[in-house]
Amino acid sequence: MKAYVLEAGSTSLDGLKRVERPDPSHGPREVLVRMRAASLNFRDQAVATGRYFGGPVRRDTVPLSDGAGEVLSIGDQVTRFKPGDRVAPTFFQGWIDGPFGPILDRALGSPLDGALAELAVFDQDGLVAIPPSLSFEEAACLPCAALTAWHALMAHRPLRPGETVLALGTGGVAMFALQFAHAAGARVIVTSSSDDKIARAKALGASDGINYRTSPDWEKEVMKLTGGHGADRVIELGGVGTFGRSVQAVAYGGEISLIGVLAPPGADTNLPVLMVKNAAARGIFVGSRRMFEDMNRAIEINCIAPVIDRTFPFDAAADAFRHQMTGSHMGKIVITI
Q: What is the pTM of this model?
A: 0.94
Per residue in 228-275, pLDDT tens?
Answer: 999 999 999 987 778 999 999 999 999 999 996 554 555 556 767 877
Per residue in 169-179, pLDDT tens?
Answer: 999 999 999 99
- pLDDT category of residue 278 using cuts at 50, 70 and 90: confident
Kindly give the residue spans of alpha helices, DSSP state H, lying in 80-190.
Answer: 136-139, 147-150, 172-183
Has residue 56 got a pLDDT over 90?
Answer: yes
Backbone angles phi, psi at 273, to 5 degrees: -65, -40
**Beta-sheet pairing, 332-336 with 16-20:** unpaired
Per residue in 197-228, pLDDT tens?
Answer: 999 999 999 999 999 999 999 999 999 999 99
| All structural domains of the chain | 2-141+306-336 (3.90.180.10), 148-283 (3.40.50.720)
Per residue in 5-44, pLDDT tens?
Answer: 999 999 999 999 999 999 999 999 999 999 999 999 999 9
Q: Which residues contact 316 (CB under 8 A, 6 or more apart)?
A: 335
Side-chain half-sphere CA neighbours of 27 within 13 A: 4
Q: Map residue 112 onto helix, strand or coil.
A: strand
Cα–Cα distance for residue pair 19/27, rounded to 1 Å: 24
Residue 102 pLDDT? 76
Residue 263 pLDDT? 47
Rounded average pLDDT over 101-114:
92
